[in-house]
Each structure stands twice: as structure tokens, then as C-alpha cells.
Homo-oligomer: A and B are copies of this chain.
Amino acid sequence: MTKSQLEKMMGIKRRAISNDEKMERRNDILDAAAELLAGDDYHDISIARIARKAGLAKGTIFLYFKTKEELFLQLQSREYKSWFEDVNKRLHTLARQKKECGTDDFVENIMAAISSHPLMTRLTPILHIILERNVDYKTALEFKRFLLTEIQATGRLIERCLPFPQKNDGARLLLHLQVLLIGLIQLSRPSPSVKQVIEKEEMEVFQLNFDEKLSEMLVLLINGIKTDNKK
């Protein structure tokens, strides 16, 4: 239960005057959306539900986010930020341990970071297809700039960790990771009726375990990049 929900229950109602308070409220809204997203699909979450959960009026939501899509894009942004921090921390730790880390170590850590950010898994498959569609230039610019910075910073850390001889191979790997994420999440989260189908024995091929498959493909790609560059 969030702070504002408690406040709501206790009949307290405060105005977010200072910038800090506003950021707090903004985060309350994102928290409410995140909670709902854990249980429901994007399409089943209305602004009304988010407002109710956040203890605010519907209109108030639109003071903080211009559109529903922008709201979820900002949620994605927040989640990305946390994920990149997590990854960076892990890469630093790895770097401290040995000069050059093994592919397996690296992949394992990436996987762990993903596992501790389940929201990413919910948002990534709709990021390009939905969220980025109803968002204005300014918001899109800000989002992409943020992503760019993170990708470059983390990319460099990766390059320090993995023996990628070419410049930008770190950022390149992160893009590849994004591709894999989008595709694999979709394939590994079948709809109920499809799920029932692929649970049949002969359909084993389609029973795709997200973690396993992502690890596998990541390893392949990393090895591929190494091989590729050694040519």
C-alpha cells in the first residue's frame, strides 16, 4: 500500500506544492499503475482504475501525464533506470573480481537483473507498438535521450567486461538484448487458449522457457560477436 493510499484511507489529503512533493505524487501514480500491471494487461487498466488506486481524481492523473501512453512510457523509463543501475552495479562487481569476465558470468548477471525487474517484462513488448505511438515529440525525445545515455554508459562497461574488440559492441549487444526481450517475452507468454494447446506433448517445441531461451540466445550472440570480430 502506497503512502497516498494510506493518506486517502486516513482522510488526509495534501497538495503537492514543491517539486519534491510533485515528484512524489508522480511516483505514487506510477506505483499504482505498476501494481495494476502486475495483475492485468495494459488494455485492461483504465486511467480510472489507476486514479482510484492512487487515491486521486481522474483529472489529476492528466496533470502529471498527458496521455495514458505517456504514463506507461514514464513507468517504463523508471523501470529502465532502475534496471540499468542494477546492471551497472553488477558489472562493476564483476570487473572488480577478475580482469575479464566470462560469458556465463555476464549472462547470469543480466538475467538476474531482468528477473528482479518484472515490470520491464510487462512493458517491453508494448513499448514500440503502443506506448511510443501516442506520445508527442518532446516526450519521445526525452525518453530516447535518456535511453541513449544509459545504453552508452552500460555499453562501455560491457566492453570492459567482455572481450569485444570493436567499439560500440557493448551498445550493440544491448540493442540485441532488446530485440530478444521483445520477441521472447511474446513467445513465452501465450494466451490461455494457446497455452492449453502447446502444453500437449508433441508441441514441446513451442514451450519456450523465457530464462533458458534468453540465456541461450544471449550466449550465442555473444559468442557470435566474438567470432565475428575475430575474423
Contacts and interface: CB of A to CB of B under 8 A. Distances in A.
Q: In the assembly, how many copies of this chain are there?
A: 4
Contact of A132 (B127, B180, B184, B191): B191
Interface string A129-143: 100110111011100
B190 A128 contact: yes
A196 interface: yes
Interface stretch (A24-32, A51-59, A93-101, A216-224): A216-224
Contact of A151 (B171, B184, B197, B205): B205
A60 interface: no
Interface in A179-215: 179-184, 186-187, 189-191, 193-194, 196-198, 202-203, 205-206, 208, 213
A125 B148 CA distance: 24
A223 B219 contact: no
Interface SS of chain A: helix
A227 B226 CA distance: 11
A136 to B, nearest CB: 6
Contacts of A125: 129
Given A125-B129, A129-B126, A136-B193, A217 B148 contact: no
Nearest to A176: B217
A175 B127 CA distance: 22
A200 to B, nearest CB: 8
A225 interface: yes
Nearest to A125: B129
A87 B129 CA distance: 28
Given A128-B194, A135-B193, 6 more contacts: A140-B194, A144-B194, A144-B203, A148-B205, A180-B183, A220-B228
14 contacts: A128-B189, A128-B190, A129-B186, A140-B196, A140-B197, A144-B203, A171-B205, A175-B187, A175-B208, A181-B183, A182-B186, A220-B227, A221-B224, A227-B227
